[in-house]
Amino acid sequence: MPEKTLSTQIPFRYRNFDSPTGVTRETAKRLAERLGVDETQVIHLALHQLAIKILPQYEQDDGPLTAAQVRQIKKLAPTLKKKSVRSSLFEPETT
């Protein structure tokens, strides 16, 4: 097992009260008990959920398509007949 050094660790301090920016140790303990894991795992789970929510879950692409790429897509895409709407979800108003 690799030796833990100060460069791979960060200090973590619980808050004195629960808020949008932190939780108390009591809250962390309650979460750990409910999830069946230890407090460290609770922190990792929370960070993982935040990463999924905030960070892109896909590789960044090369940006917008070029005009040539758009033309090629239009050329390869099937053409569909244009259709008109013959009915409505709403009854026509009668006055």
pTM: 0.55
Per-residue pLDDT of 40-86, as tens digits, reads 999 999 999 999 999 988 887 888 999 999 999 999 988 877 777 77
Q: Report the percentage of the chain scoring pLDDT > 90.
A: 59
Furthest CA-CA distance within the chain: 83
Q: Which residues contact 50 (CB under 8 A, 6 or more apart)?
A: none
Neighbours of 28 (CB within 10 A): 20
Is residue 27's pLDDT more than 90?
A: yes
| Contact by Cβ (8 Å): 42, 33 | no
CA separation for the pair 42, 11 (Å, rounded): 16
CA torsion angle 54 60 64 68 (round to 10): -160
